Homo-oligomer: A and B are copies of this chain.
Amino acid sequence: MKKICIIVASRANFSRIKQVALILRDSPGVQLQLIVGGSALLYQYGNVAADIEKDFEISARASFIISGDSPSEMAKSTGLAIIELTTIFEQLSPDVVLTIADRYETLATAVASSYMNIPLAHTQGGEITGSIDESVRHAITKLAHIHFPSTELSKSRLIRMGENPKSIFLSGCPSIDLAKQALKTFNPDVNKLLDYGGSGFSLDWNQDFIVVLQHPVTTQYHSVDQSVQETITAIKDLSMQTIWLWPNVDAGSDLISKRLRELKASNDNHIRFFRNFKPIDFLHVLLKSRCIVGNSSVGIRECSYLGVPCVNIGDRQSFRERSANVIDVKSDSSDIKNAVIKQITRDRYPISSLYGDGNASRFIAETLIHCNPTIQKSFHD
């Protein structure tokens, strides 16, 4: 039995790897080991673990988020995650570990795995963005043994960075697989909000609405407050039905949450707040919406395939490849407002295959099953 281990540490992690995990779960000769940790265990971030358990057995849980809102807690949580994951890897002794993307705590998976001589596979390497994610992503690349980039350009950057071309498997992003499925199964008449409660304004599914999702930019920690205020001002000015999702765990997210709680308490708006959606439901909500606003990569990745218009704010997604669905704006309330007005007055954009054509999951799963990488890395000159 080949033991393949996946670490899910956030709601975004899960939606981007669920398909791969399902295929591995059902593959003969494979033992899937699912470690759920970090914010995926926390109620205030949507208790993703409960969703996971509907389809998977959880092999271990890793609590490592140290409460607090500053960059210090982000660093310490990563340190604690290394300690916890090492102990868990000792119990599970996986043959290969898969880590997803570039959130700060995913570097812990990479350190624990590579230091313990367990081959490390990584998705979404070679992309460029802002925030600490930019540094984290490339550092993980330099610790990883197998790479699953989403785009041709990303692949070429991995090679530039000295990764052995034989270790690079251009797969596209598995999130697009789910987007493809979402597009097929979308029924605009089915109100996907019903199961989730939410709080605030009573939103009418059959009237136009937009979706907002804004995370802190950790490298601009001292202007997080101003950034979220600009967005709030824009959204209030628009006076349009809005679904707003709470931010991820990052330095600055408590501050954003505080502003959103104040906003909710004021009652003086058209916003309904949600903690979390199941991946497919979230994509259906996006398909029903007129536009996604904020700085989530979902607006750039999944929405490029879905064709959902996106207003991307600030530097968090700087330099990430994007297709036609995105309008970039600075963190300025009137710029945001104007861009949203432009996007909501048009139809969905055509499908883009920039981040894949919807077949990544099987390819990644098969590659993991058959790969046999060497542990000693060497810069490929």
Given contacts A64-B66, A66-B65, A265-B199, contact A71 B220 (CB under 8 A): no
Instruction: Assess the B42–A67 pair: CB atoms within 8 A.
Output: yes
Instruction: Assess the A115–B74 pair: CB atoms within 8 A.
Output: yes
A218 CB-CB contact with B under 8 Å: yes
Instruction: Assess the A135–B377 pair: CB atoms within 8 A.
Output: yes
Tell me the bound Cα distance from A63 to B261 in angstroms: 23
Which residues of the other chain, B, contact A63 by a CB distance below 8 angstroms?
A: 66-68, 72-73, 76
Q: What's the least CB distance linking A160 to chain B, in Å?
A: 6
A66 touches which one: B66, B135, B218, B379 (CB < 8 A)?
B66
A86 touches which one: B75, B86, B249 (CB < 8 A)?
B75
Instruction: Assess the A377–B117 pair: CB atoms within 8 A.
Output: no
Instruction: Assess the A79–B60 pair: CB atoms within 8 A.
Output: no
Which residues of the other chain, B, contact A162 by a CB distance below 8 angstroms?
A: 138, 157, 160-161
- Tell me the A110-141 residues at the B interface (CB within 8 Å): 110-112, 114-117, 128, 130-132, 134-135, 138-141
A83 touches which one: B42, B80, B116 (CB < 8 A)?
B80
A27 CB-CB contact with B under 8 Å: no
Tell me the bound Cα distance from A16 to B140 in angstroms: 27
- Tell me the A88-115 residues at the B interface (CB within 8 Å): 88-91, 104, 107-108, 110-112, 114-115
Q: What's the least CB distance linking A83 to chain B, in Å?
A: 4
Which residues of the other chain, B, contact A69 by a CB distance below 8 angstroms?
A: 43
A378 touches which one: B110, B134, B161 (CB < 8 A)?
B134
A33 CB-CB contact with B under 8 Å: no
Given contacts A66-B66, A84-B87, contact A379 B319 (CB under 8 A): yes
Number of copies: 4
A81 CB-CB contact with B under 8 Å: yes
Tell me the bound Cα distance from A140 to B318 in angstroms: 22
Q: What's the least CB distance linking A88 to chain B, in Å?
A: 7
Instruction: Assess the A114–B132 pair: CB atoms within 8 A.
Output: yes
Instruction: Assess the B86–A79 pair: CB atoms within 8 A.
Output: yes
- Tell me the A131-161 residues at the B interface (CB within 8 Å): 131-132, 134-135, 138-143, 157, 160-161
Which residues of the other chain, B, contact A332 by a CB distance below 8 angstroms?
A: none
A254 CB-CB contact with B under 8 Å: yes
Which residues of the other chain, B, contact A84 by a CB distance below 8 angstroms?
A: 83, 87
Tell me the bound Cα distance from A116 to B115 in angstroms: 23
A345 CB-CB contact with B under 8 Å: no
Which residues of the other chain, B, contact A265 by a CB distance below 8 angstroms?
A: 199
Which residues of the other chain, B, contact A334 by a CB distance below 8 angstroms?
A: none
Which residues of the other chain, B, contact A157 by a CB distance below 8 angstroms?
A: 162, 379, 381
Q: What's the least CB distance linking A316 to chain B, in Å?
A: 10
Instruction: Assess the A375–B219 pair: CB atoms within 8 A.
Output: yes
Tell me the bound Cα distance from A130 to B115 in angstroms: 13
Task: Name 19 interchain pairs, CB-CB below 8 A, sorted by A.
Answer: A42-B67, A63-B66, A63-B76, A64-B66, A65-B67, A72-B90, A72-B116, A74-B115, A75-B86, A75-B115, A78-B79, A79-B82, A79-B111, A117-B219, A117-B221, A142-B142, A161-B162, A318-B378, A319-B378
Nearest 7 pairs of A and B residues by beta carbon? A79-B82, A138-B142, A75-B115, A79-B83, A139-B139, A65-B67, A139-B142
